[in-house]
């Protein structure tokens, strides 16, 4: 008989696109094909070479032109503030947290860095180098996000009087939290460097927690040294109201004429100056009120300042779960924590033990300004502007939010209590760790992971920002707003983020002529003008569209649009809102909340990583089932094409079947948690939940929680083999002030919690 096995095998294998199919077909031919007379059938003398395997198809044939869905100029908010990069050739690697000048000498700046160093640089715009003043990294505990070198004050007579004061958290942890220490150091070379061996400890405060250290120190015009201290996360001891501790206070001491064992004296008009026992030992006065206290009732007054014209003290006090506040502080004032959080009565907060003593307090002072956690999460206190360069800003108090980078200003005579909104502020995109004032009254801010910026006045009215109606953004089809604009490119991550059960569709709006770059970790960076569009559906109806934009100045910002009942258009939601939809409460995030999750540490654009997109999707434009990386390479979107895209192993889908239990659980944590919980992330805990970090190096396995144990006996962040003792599981399984994620979700991911519970119960150790 005639042998047609070869032809059949080639045909079958070609249809299946099996790699190596032609070699297998040839083997079949010589192993079992026979000619009509029963012998092997020799190939024709001039048989052609087998054809090449068909190419892997791309989902699109060409890159679509995108001229409409491009990020507009960023909104200028209140039309009063702007920022400008200062000292553009300087970049700081140890997290700048305070910046000061010598009084009367504007030739240089001293910068304290959270990781334990102080540096100095010339006050010249083109400066490109700094010099080390002192290195205390061997003494400073900077392992938690709120710990480190937190305060620096030059003696008013420096460098003639060669003393400098530093406030830092130590490596000593007698009560689990690092001690807070105020020390004096001396310069022996005219103020160029400080001698580490010259340290003289003025006081040390023991704490039960790694949180709430505050730490700003500054000399007043009265010559006294003022120090802010956090409450040490004291939900049990109510340290803000307890007057026998230095915790949760504004302190004032006199260091003039003190040497050796004579550490400091007490100003005669301090509220409790008559107390006979100072609190420099362990930060506790025993039965007596601490004479160092100037004002009290604070939670974490991390940044504060003097108004150089009036002497007023302005304090930004970081809130708990609801309110951030700004107060104008006077001697003997009680600013409410934890009886109040801002103007909110906090005495019956179910997250804390009952506090009946609050009902008897009649001296609680309200804040001057406050904003909710829909707007920001961690206030950074600033300064009243008293410079000359920007007359329109004179007399206005300028402050910010660390988490969102939003910047506000209010008149210095504002009366209690003004509520700040996201729309009236300036979105900077920075992590603003502190403000600084030069000798001329001009203001600067430190962007903690990078650089320094100058505060300026806006040059025009408040303009810019996205359109109010989605149909006018250029990101949807002109005749049907439920469909994307033709210039958008669809994408889907393999390990999707939990969004309260909503179905999602995603697109990239890449400006014409621009390309995507990929860093060494596989995270993608997008050019200015990019728009990332995401639609959310519940019960098969569009409820929200989010546009995440990188504006022309490079600053990312997020915007939420609420769909109307007719499904014809969506309207921009300013300030966020919550709406009941289909038996659940849906959160339309505020602009500030968007930036709490889209962190700078995670590269802002979440879900767009090489290993997230290494699989096939169906492209609606062509109906093709095709590999996303191959497609993006083919249509020339990548600045450098991704090598061997078909060989990239994607992060496993947590709800899928590919990958081991551990791999799926770690993929879930990477997608849902690591945007904040990673190096240089904005959280107050030092954990790293990226997929590539070993379990032992995540700082979670068998680790005692530092941000509360939620009442779990013998709790650990992750307790191997015992999910019920694992705070990580408990936090993701609740939606209150102690739940995770802290914003953007009202519904527990039951399937995700079950996955992580099964994984934790399967662990036998931390390796």
- Domain with residue 142: its CATH number is 2.120.10.30
Mark whether 232 and 289 lie in a shared domain. yes
Mark whether 405 and 470 lie in a shared domain. no
Question: Cα dihedral angle (11, 17, 23, 25), rounded to 10 degrees?
Answer: -30
Picking from 566, 571, 754, 597, the residue whose alpha carbon sits closest to that of residue 674 is: 597
Alpha-carbon separation of residue 486 from 54, 61, 489, 528 (angstroms): 29, 14, 8, 20
Model confidence pLDDT, tens digit, residues 228-260: 999 998 666 789 999 999 999 999 999 998 877
The answer to whether the CB of 364 falls within 8 A of the CB of 339 is yes
pLDDT value at position 5?
Answer: 31
Q: Which residues of the chain have pLDDT under 50?
A: 1-42
Mark whether 306 and 261 lie in a shared domain. yes
pLDDT value at position 10?
Answer: 35
Alpha carbons 325 and 336: distance in angstroms, whole number:
11
Model confidence pLDDT, tens digit, residues 30-54: 233 333 334 444 455 555 666 665 6
Mark whether 765 and 647 lie in a shared domain. no
Mark whether 15 and 115 lie in a shared domain. no
Bridging pattern class, strands 249-253 and 426-427: unpaired
Mark whether 202 and 335 lie in a shared domain. yes
Three-class secondary structure of residue 698 per DSSP: helix
How many CB atoms are closer than 10 A to CB 470?
25
Q: Among 423, 457, 491, give the residue marking a domain's end.
A: 457
Range of the domain at 689: 654-767
Q: Which residue has the tokens 């690591």?
A: 674
Alpha carbons 345 and 337: distance in angstroms, whole number:
10
pLDDT value at position 489?
Answer: 98
- Phi, psi for 663 (deg, rounded to 5): -65, -40
Q: Among 619, 636, 651, give the residue marking a domain's end.
A: 651
Mark whether 237 and 293 lie in a shared domain. yes
Alpha carbons 73 and 550: distance in angstroms, whole number:
9
Mark whether 737 and 640 lie in a shared domain. no
Mark whether 303 and 432 lie in a shared domain. yes
Please give the sequence-ordered ranges of beta strands (E in DSSP) within 601-757, or none if there are none: 616-618, 625-627
pLDDT value at position 23?
Answer: 32
Mark whether 256 and 394 lie in a shared domain. yes
Picking from 477, 478, 510, 505, the residue whose alpha carbon sits closest to that of residue 63 is: 510
Mark whether 98 and 39 lie in a shared domain. no
554 CB-contact burial (10 Å; exposed 0-12 / middle 13-18 / buried 19+)? exposed
The answer to whether the CB of 202 falls within 8 A of the CB of 217 is no
**What is the total count of domains within the chain?**
4
Mark whether 250 and 353 lie in a shared domain. yes
The answer to whether the CB of 340 falls within 8 A of the CB of 323 is no
Count of H-run helices and E-run strands, the chain: 7, 39
| Token code pair at residue 673 | 């948690």
The answer to whether the CB of 208 falls within 8 A of the CB of 175 is yes
């Amino acid at each position: 008989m005639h042998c047609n096995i070869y032809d059949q095998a080639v045909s079958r294998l070609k249809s299946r696109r099996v790699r190596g199919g032609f070699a297998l077909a040839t083997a079949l031919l010589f192993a079992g094909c026979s000619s009509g007379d029963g012998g092997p059938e020799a190939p024709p003398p001039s048989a052609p070479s087998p054809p090449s395997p068909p190419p892997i198809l791309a989902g699109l044939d060409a890159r679509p032109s995108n001229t409409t869905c491009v990020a507009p100029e960023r909104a200028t908010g209140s039309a009063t503030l702007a920022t400008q990069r200062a000292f553009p050739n300087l970049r700081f690697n140890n997290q700048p947290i305070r910046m000061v000048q010598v009084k009367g000498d504007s030739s240089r700046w001293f910068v304290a860095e959270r990781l334990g160093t102080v540096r100095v640089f010339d006050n010249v715009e083109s400066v490109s180098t700094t010099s080390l003043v002192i290195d205390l990294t061997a003494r400073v505990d900077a392992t938690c996000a709120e710990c480190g070198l937190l305060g620096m004050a030059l003696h008013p007579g420096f460098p003639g009087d060669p003393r400098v004061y530093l406030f830092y958290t130590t490596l000593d942890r007698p009560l689990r939290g690092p001690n807070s220490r105020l020390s004096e150091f001396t310069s022996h070379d005219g103020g160029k460097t400080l001698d580490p061996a010259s340290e003289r400890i003025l006081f040390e405060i023991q704490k039960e927690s790694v949180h709430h250290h505050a730490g700003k120190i500054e000399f007043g015009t009265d010559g006294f040294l003022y120090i802010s201290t956090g409450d040490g996360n004291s939900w049990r001891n109510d340290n803000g109201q307890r007057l026998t501790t230095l915790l949760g206070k504004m302190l004032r001491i006199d260091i003039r004429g003190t040497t050796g064992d004579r550490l400091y004296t007490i100003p005669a008009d301090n509220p409790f100056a008559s107390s006979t026992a100072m609190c420099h030992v362990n930060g506790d006065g025993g039965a007596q009120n601490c004479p160092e206290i100037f004002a009290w009732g604070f939670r974490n007054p991390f940044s504060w300042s003097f108004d150089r014209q009036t002497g007023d003290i302005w304090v930004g006090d970081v809130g708990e779960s609801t309110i951030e506040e700004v107060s104008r502080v006077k001697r003997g004032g009680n600013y409410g924590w934890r009886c109040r959080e801002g103007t909110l009565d906090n005495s019956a907060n179910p997250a804390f033990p009952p506090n009946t003593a609050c009902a008897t307090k009649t001296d609680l002072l309200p804040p001057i300004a406050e904003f909710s956690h829909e707007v920001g999460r961690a206030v950074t206190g600033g300064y009243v502007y008293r410079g000359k360069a920007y007359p329109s800003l004179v007399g206005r108090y300028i402050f910010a939010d660390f988490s969102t980078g939003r910047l506000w200003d209010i008149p210095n005579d504002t009366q209690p209590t003004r509520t700040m909104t996201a729309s009236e502020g300036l979105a900077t995109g920075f992590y603003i760790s502190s403000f600084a004032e030069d000798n001329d009254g001009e203001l600067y801010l430190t962007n903690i992971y990078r650089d320094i910026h100058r505060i300026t006045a806006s040059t025009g009215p408040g303009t810019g920002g996205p359109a109010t109606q989605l149909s006018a953004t250029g990101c949807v089809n002109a005749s049907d707003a439920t469909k994307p604009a033709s210039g958008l490119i669809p994408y889907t991550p393999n390990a999707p983020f939990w969004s309260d059960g909503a179905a999602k569709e995603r697109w990239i709006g890449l400006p014409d002529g621009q390309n995507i770059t990929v860093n060494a970790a596989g995270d993608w960076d997008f050019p200015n003008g990019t728009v990332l569009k995401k639609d959310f559906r519940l019960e098969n109806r569009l409820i929200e569209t989010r546009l995440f934009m990188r504006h022309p100045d490079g600053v990312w910002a997020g915007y939420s649009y609420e769909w109307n009942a007719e499904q014809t258009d969506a309207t921009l939601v300013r300030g966020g809102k919550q709406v009941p939809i289909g038996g659940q409460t849906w959160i339309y995030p505020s602009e500030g909340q968007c930036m709490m999750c889209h962190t700078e540490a995670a590269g802002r654009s979440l879900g767009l990583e090489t290993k997230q997109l290494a699989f096939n999707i169906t492209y609606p434009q062509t109906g093709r089932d095709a590999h996303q990386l191959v497609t993006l390479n083919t249509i020339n979107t990548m600045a450098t094409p991704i090598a061997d895209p078909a060989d990239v192993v994607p992060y496993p889908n947590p709800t899928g079947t590919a990958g081991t239990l551990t791999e799926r659980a770690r993929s879930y944590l990477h997608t849902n948690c690591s945007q904040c919980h990673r190096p240089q992330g904005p959280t107050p805990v030092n954990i790293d939940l990226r997929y590539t970090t070993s379990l032992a190096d995540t700082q979670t396995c068998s680790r005692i929680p530092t941000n509360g144990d939620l009442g779990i006996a013998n709790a650990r962040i992750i307790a191997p083999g015992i999910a019920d003792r694992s705070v990580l599981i408990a936090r993701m399984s609740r939606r209150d002030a102690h739940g995770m994620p802290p914003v953007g979700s009202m519904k527990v991911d039951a399937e995700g919690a079950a996955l992580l519970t099964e994984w934790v119960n399967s662990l036998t150790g931390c390796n």
